[in-house]
Amino acid sequence: MADADSDTVFTGSISRLYDEYLVPLIFQPYATDVANRLVTRPLSRVVEVAAGTGVATRAMASALPGSVSIVATDLNQAMLERASAMGTARPVEWRQADALRLPFADETCDAVVCQFGVMFFPDRVKAFAEARRILRPGGVYVFSVWDQIGVNEFADTVTTALESIFPADPPRFLARTPHGYHDPATIQRDLASGGYVRPADLATVPARSRAASSRVPAIAYCQGTPLRNEIEARDPASLGEATNLAARALAKRFGGGEIDGRIQAHVVTVVK
């Protein structure tokens, strides 16, 4: 399997480790940020795409009035099952769906939300057009994407460390996909191609990623993302070695014990 083909595969234990390790490490602060951007808007129905294990869903369920219905979708059933098992502060609808072919009628929601999913879409313009199709006039599309890998220090450290195990063909999932769609001009152009007339507001939002030890982000990235698929495709027996190497590299850069690193993302808001 080519690396790009495995970038959206969250099977086996990946969904559990993703939720247990990666969500508190990097996703939680941005979930809160996205929910807060919606609280002042007049909403009756929100559709979330690429909901993953539901970190943004949980934030919205807590922040938005009970009168606002939330439908959370994802392509990967394993992620939705994990999200549903975790639960939310109030009922939401969980539904498997492809962001490129959303199973909703035209102009039936007030907001579409996508936290760190856009980078995985094989056709972003089509996904943007689908979000626009289901939005009512004046509705808002809010999504977040990671900034370039160099300003996301844990991911950058892990990616560099793995080059020493596979020097001829280093795993590049983190740089290629999660951190591969960060150029503001490209984002604006793709949104325009998807039918949005108004320019998007793009806010660059820095935050801090904290962990009890270097082993936490090592497991999070090497075993709780599709980076695992890349590692095991090169050598099925190397996952433990890769995780240990990443942990040592993180400890060398950030010190022993609790560690703290920079993360940064763009949060994009565009009105139909």
CA atoms of 209 and 217, how far apart (whole Å) = 9
Pairing mode of beta strands 109-115, 93-96: unpaired
Angle formed by the axes of helices 55-63 and 28-38, nearest 10°: 40
Which pTM value belongs to this model? 0.93
Q: What is the dihedral of CA 205, 35, 113, 68, to 10 degrees?
A: -170
Q: In whole angstroms, give the CA distance from residue 163 to residue 214.
A: 18
**For residue 13, what pLDDT is reported?**
65
Over residues 7-25, the mean pLDDT reads 73
Tokens of 138: 């004046």
For residue 4, what is the DSSP state? G
DSSP string, 200-241: PEEEEEEEEEEESSTHHHHHHHHHSSTHHHHHHHH-TT-HHH
User: Which DSSP string corresponds to 237-259?
Assistant: T-HHHHHHHHHHHHHHHH-SSSE
Hey, what amino acid is at 14? I
Q: Tens digits of per-residue pLDDT, 249-269?
A: 999 999 989 999 999 999 999
What is the rounded CA–CA span in Å between residue 232 and residue 106?
Answer: 42
Mean pLDDT of the region 20-42: 94
Q: Does position 3 have pLDDT exceeding 80, yes or no?
A: no
Task: Check whether 54 has a pLDDT greater than 90.
Answer: yes
Q: What is the mean pLDDT of the chain?
A: 94
150: pLDDT strictly greater than 80: yes
Edge-to-edge strand ranges of the sheet holding 259-271? 93-96, 69-74, 45-48, 109-115, 135-146, 259-271, 201-211
Share of the chain above pLDDT 90, in %: 89
Work out the percent of the chain whose per-residue pLDDT is above 70.
Answer: 95
69-119 pLDDT, tens per residue? 999 999 999 889 989 999 999 999 999 999 999 999 999 999 999 999 999
Q: Is the pLDDT of residue 156 over 90?
A: yes
Confidence of residue 238 (pLDDT cuts 50, 70, 90): very high
User: What's the confidence (pLDDT) of residue 248?
Assistant: 97
Residue 9: per-residue pLDDT: 46
pLDDT at 1 over 80: no
pLDDT at 255: 94
Q: Which helix (H) or strand (E) holds 14?
A: helix 14-17
Tokens of 157: 């450290």
In angstroms, the CA 47 to CA 112 distance is 5
Q: Coil, strand or helix: which one is 74?
A: strand
Residue appearing with tokens 């999200």? 83
Work out the average pLDDT over 1-19.
59
Two tokens, residue 177? 């996909």
pLDDT at 16: 81
Mean pLDDT score, 165-186: 96
* Rounded-to-integer distance, Cα 33 and Cα 60, Å: 10
Residue 2: the pLDDT is 46
Residue 121 pLDDT exceeds 60: yes
The correct CATH number of 3-271 out of 3.40.140.10, 3.40.50.300, 3.40.50.150, 3.40.640.10 is: 3.40.50.150
